[in-house]
Amino acid sequence: MDLPATPPFVLRGRLLTPLGGGGTRFERDGLLAVDAGGRITFAGAAGERADLIEGALDVRPWVLLPGMVDLHAHLPQLPNAGLGAGMDLLAWLERYIFPLERAFDVPTAERVAPAAWRAFAAAGTTTALVYGAVYEASLDATFRAAEAHGIRAIVGKVMMDRVTYDPTIDPSSILDRTLAESARLIERWHGAADGRLRYAVTPRFAVSCTAELLRESAALAASTGAYWQTHVSEDQGEIAEVARLFPEAIDYVDVYDRAGGLGERSVLAHAVHLSDRELSRLVETGTRVAHCPISNLFLASGVMPLGRYLDAGLSVGLGSDVAGGPDLSIFSVMRVGFYAQNARRVAGFETGPVLSPLDWIRLGSMAGAEALGLEDAIGSLETGKEADVIAVDPAFIAPISGIADEDPDDLASRLIFRAHPDMVRAAWVRGRRLEGPGAMVTPP
């Protein structure tokens, strides 16, 4: 029997999910029922719903999990993933990233974007908040690919009015033009595919944006209900450059605060080196942070003091930051994040584990949904939510011992520390199966 491509369906498998109200549900013999509209009508123990068992597709011992949420990635950069380890951020952008984004025209987008969305799904990511390139038409192509693929995507056209790589643009008119292009993209795509596609107004970061662009972009997001995303406090060279460019600002976070960019619809990537003042300002305003530990070590940017941020009440989810991070898998992000926090422990900055494996699974799913304000729709496998689901084959994470009666923390630990590129065998958004999982290997 084939895996279901469209709803309704019932799957019988192991079930592991964070719960919206806190805690975790783990069923060794679980059922997940999805109605014709792609909503979960039951997620729990098979024993509770004997009536559903007969019509269920039995995928045991596969593990059913909520689809992962990637809060930060750069789609046009995917072809250069893995290049430039250990370089400084600003030098790496010049060498590996700006040339790639400069070339991201429509034909390139039509080639790269469908493959990128399949790669996200293959990694177990069903919701992605991503940056595109600067060209309006390439964003249309990127959205069209997401529309056809079925992934849940929030995308934005990168805005830069200084240190830009766009050769077509007249510096004197760049601000008006990039705002007008973003506004048209919002009209076309924010809320498209019945809300599955959304728009994020995307000033790249303070180094490549004037105060005016930051302010106008934040106003555009506020007036349209779109998200607003940018980078903050990633590495020391960048922080020093921002201080030089914005002498009037108290600190890096204040640059965005003055622009009206902070708030619950704003996602800032990295935030590695926040002062206490910056941290409390982000907490006060409800601003979201995308934690990208792979990228932060790949580019030697730093190690986020995650425990201090979480204790302060900061909203944190996970991001791959491809291609600052070489790996799209949020499970890999969890693993490197865990190791990085252990390194802080070795160095004497922490006294114990900052988060358990199950806490990391929550960070990559439920916390990501909360960061996007989508906690009522996705992030966990619970009745009433939309069926954004992945199925993981445990043969990849425990090939010798297999998994038998592990407790949920042990299973989470294997998913993170034994994560395998092929372990995600299927992914669904709203009960519709996505292309990508199980089909990544193509002959040369």
If one counts every other C-beta atom within 10 angstroms of the C-beta of residue 176, the result is 11
Kindly state the smallest distance separating residue 252's Cβ from Zn ion, in Å.
15
Minimum CB distance to Zn ion, residue 298 (Å): 11
Q: Output the smallest distance, CB 292 to Zn ion, in A.
A: 7
Nearer of residues 44 and 319 to Zn ion, judged by Cβ? 319
Between 27 and 321, name the residue whose CB sits nearer to Zn ion: 321
Helix, strand, or coil (residue 154): strand
Q: How far is the CB of 72 from Zn ion (least distance, A)?
A: 6
Contact region for Zn ion (CB under 5 A) — 170-178, 181-189, 264-272, 296-304?
264-272
* Residue 136, both tokens: 């309006």
For 273-337, strand residue ranges (E) read: 288-291, 315-318
Residues numbered 385 to 444 that lie near Zn ion (CB under 5 A) are: none
Asked if 101 touches Zn ion (CB under 5 A), the answer is no
**Which is nearest to 123 in space by CA: 442, 436, 365?**
436
To Zn ion, the closest distance from the beta carbon of 323 in angstroms equals 9
Mark the segment that binds Zn ion (CB under 5 A) among 316-324, 363-371, 404-412, 415-423: 316-324
Which lies closer to Zn ion via its Cβ, residue 230 or residue 380?
A: 230
- Specify the residue, 321 or 382, whose C-beta has the smaller distance to Zn ion: 321
Nearest approach, Cβ of 128 to Zn ion (angstroms)? 13
Of 123 and 426, nearer to Zn ion (C-beta) is 123
Q: Which two tokens stand for residue 160?
A: 């830069």
Contact window for Zn ion (CB under 5 A) among 147-155, 208-216, 239-247, 267-275: 267-275
Mark the segment that binds Zn ion (CB under 5 A) among 80-88, 198-206, 213-221, 313-321.
Answer: 313-321
- Give the nearest distance from C-beta 390 to Zn ion in angstroms: 24
Q: Which is nearer to Zn ion, 34 or 294 (CB)?
A: 294
Supply the minimum distance, in Å, between the C-beta of residue 324 and Zn ion. Answer: 5
Q: Between 77 and 108, whose beta carbon lies closer to Zn ion? A: 77
Of 119 and 411, nearer to Zn ion (C-beta) is 119
Q: Which stretch binds Zn ion (CB under 5 A): 204-212, 265-273, 297-305, 412-420?
A: 265-273
What is the closest distance, in whole angstroms, from the C-beta atom of residue 321 to Zn ion in the complex?
A: 5
- Kindly tell me which residue out of 161, 238, 251, 321 binds Zn ion, with binding defined by CB under 5 A: 321
**Which region among 198-206, 272-280, 320-328, 357-365 touches Zn ion (by CB under 5 A)?**
320-328
DSSP per residue, 83-143: --TT--HHHHIIIIIHHHHHT--HHHHHHHHHHHHHHHHHTTEEEEEEE--S-HHHHHHHH
DSSP annotation of 281: H
Least distance CB 154 / Zn ion (angstroms): 14
- Could you tell me the end-to-end alpha-carbon distance of the chain, in angstroms, rounded to an integer? 30
* Stretch of 161-169, 190-198, 314-322, 413-421 contacting Zn ion, by CB under 5 A: 314-322
Tell me how far, at minimum, the Cβ of 423 lies from Zn ion, in Å. Answer: 26
Residue number with CB closer to Zn ion (256 or 428): 256
Which part of the chain contacts Zn ion (CB under 5 A), choosing from 59-67, 263-271, 277-285, 426-434? 263-271
CB of 322 to Zn ion, least distance (A): 9
Q: How far is CA 288 from CA 71, 227, 341, 346, in A?
A: 10, 11, 20, 28
For residue 172, report the phi and psi dihedrals to the nearest 5 degrees: -75, -20
Distance of alpha carbon 363 from alpha carbon 412, whole angstroms: 12
Number of residues that bind Zn ion (CB under 5 A): 2
Task: Determine contact, residues 92/100, Cβ cutoff 8 Å.
Answer: no
Helical (H) or strand (E) element with 230: strand 227-232
Between residues 27 and 234, which has the closer beta carbon with respect to Zn ion? 234
Nearer to Zn ion, 24 or 217 (CB): 217
Which CB contacts under 8 angstroms, 24+ apart, belong to 47-55?
Answer: 52/10, 53/12, 55/10
Concatenated DSSP letters of 353-405:
-SS-HHHHHHHHTHHHHHHTT-TTTSSS--TTSB--EEEE-GGGTSTTT--SS
420 exposure class (CB count in 10 Å sphere: 0-12, 13-18, 19+) = middle
Alpha-carbon gap, residue 264 to 267, rounded angstroms: 8
**Radius of gyration of the chain from Cα atoms?**
21
Chain position carrying tokens 């640059």: 255
Question: Which residues of this protein are in contact with Zn ion, per CB under 5 A?
Answer: 269, 321
